Each structure stands twice: as structure tokens, then as C-alpha cells.
Amino acid sequence: MRVFISVDMEGTAGVVDWAQCVGDGPEAMAGRRLLLGEVNAAIDGAIAAGATEFLVNDGHAAMRNLAPDDLHGEATLITGWHRPTDMMEGLDDSFDAAFLVSYHGSMGSELGNMSHSFNPRAVAEARLNGQVVGESVINALVAAHYGVPVVLVTGDQTGCAETVDVLPDITTAVVKDSITRAAAASLHPRRACAVIRDAAERSLTTLDRVAGRPFPTPSTLEIHWRTPDMADMATWVRGIERTGPRTTEISDSDLLALYRRFIAAITLTRVVAEDV
């Protein structure tokens, strides 16, 4: 059994501020240790359920947060910036299941600690087929393209709930409760890892009832950008149409192509977003 694991960081228990998950300062290094524990817990749970091979995609910030020699399961690790399929790079139809570890709420959510949607300086809200979604659901488009069921999401209550709204059969592991965008009540790291390990093991028993292709084709991804110039720049990517002063839309039956256009727009608009 092969398991693909996409890893973010803002959904980690005990991580509540950007200083804990960006850069190389002491707080960020401590945050990385907490994240590593949760990733290893997911791998341990998968091993208990019979999984034998793991590919871990480090998808947070500069994407160099996990120590390869400390990963359990002798997992293969993808690190480094700029990838065609971003946080889902490496996934293909040879995998039996996908995990989303340490995910968070979207910028359009009512309440979410460090909530954002790929770039908090650029994206004000994302909607897939009319429904507000975050990074978990947008990334699941890649899994759907390959027919790989996304069976587990871990993180705060907001990120998990947003995912369940679209993927109702997914198993969740809530390890912190967001209080505000800058505060959360987190489980003790040992307890958080135990919750994730148990959820990961249980999630792999649901493979027969979790849809591998849960999205309609075509699907439409609508992005509300923070400024009009970001919306304009997004249309430099072929297949992205401007539908309002700060709004663009992508529609496609090829969910991978849809996702890659979105990632291209996110990469382009960083140029403008850095000046905001």
C-alpha cells in the first residue's frame, strides 16, 4: 500500500504564529520539530494499517521544513521550491491513498488560526463550484485527477470542517481549536500525535467508501484577489478569465490543468503581492 502525504504547517498543535513556521529562528525550528512529530505519527498509523511505502511532500513556505533522516517509514521526501503541482508534486495513480497533514482554514473562513489560501497577501477568497474552499480541497483536485482518495486531513477545527463540507467521507484529526486568527487552544504534542496516529490508521480502513474522483467535470475555481492588478496579472495565464475587478475564474474538465493554472497564477501574483 502506497501513501502520499502532503504536509503544511499552520495546522500543527502548538503552532499559532508566523514566527513559528517561517524562517530559521528558534521559534521556527521548534515549530518544525512539532510538525515532524505529527508527520511521523501519520506514517506510524498508516504502517499499523498495512501501508508499506510513503512519499512525503514538504509543502510549507520554502518547503524545507522536515529532516529527511528523522522521517519514519523510510519515506521518500520531496523538498524545495517551485514545482508544477506544488504541494501535491509526486502524486500519481500508483498511490492507494493521500493524507493532508497540518492543514488550516481558508482566508474565506469565519474563524481560523493563521487562515489563508496559498498566499495571504494575494488571495482574499477561493470558491470551487460556488463553495468557499481552502488549500485542502484545492489540493485534492490533483488527487481526483489521478483517482486517488484523500482519506485523512489533520489540523485545526476550521480546516478540518471546511474539508468535510466538500469531502464528507474524509477522516479528520483535530489537534487544535482556533480562537482567533492569532490564537488557538492546542492539544499537548504527545496527545496530538496520538490522535493523528489513530486517525491515520482508521482512515485507511475507509478506502472502499471514499470516492477517488469526488469533483464534477468540468469544475470551476473562482479566486477573489486582494487588488485589481493581481486579478489582471492572473489572466496572463492562458485559460484564466477575469469576471470582475478583483475576480478571476478557471473552468476545466481536466482537474490537473485547472490546478496547474491556479498555481501559475499564485506564482505570478507574488510579484505584486510582495509590494502590498
- What pairs with residue 123 in β-bridges? 225
Sign of CA pseudo-dihedral 98, 101, 107, 110 = positive
Q: Which three cell numbers stand for residue 175?
A: 489537534
Q: Which residues are catalytic, by number?
A: 116
DSSP letter at 111 equals S
pLDDT in tens, the chain (276 residues): 999 999 999 999 999 999 999 999 999 999 999 999 999 999 999 999 999 999 999 999 999 999 999 999 999 999 998 899 999 999 999 999 999 999 999 998 888 999 999 999 999 999 999 999 999 999 999 999 999 999 999 999 999 999 999 999 999 999 999 999 999 999 999 999 999 999 999 999 999 999 999 999 999 999 999 999 999 999 999 999 999 999 999 999 999 999 999 999 999 998 887 765
Count of alpha carbons within 13 angstroms of residue 49, beta-carbon side = 25
Cα separations in angstroms, 36 against 29, 67, 72, 103: 11, 8, 10, 14
Helix (H) or strand (E) holding 261: helix 255-273
Rounded to 5 degrees, what angle do the CA atoms 257, 118, 43 make?
85
DSSP letter at 152 equals E
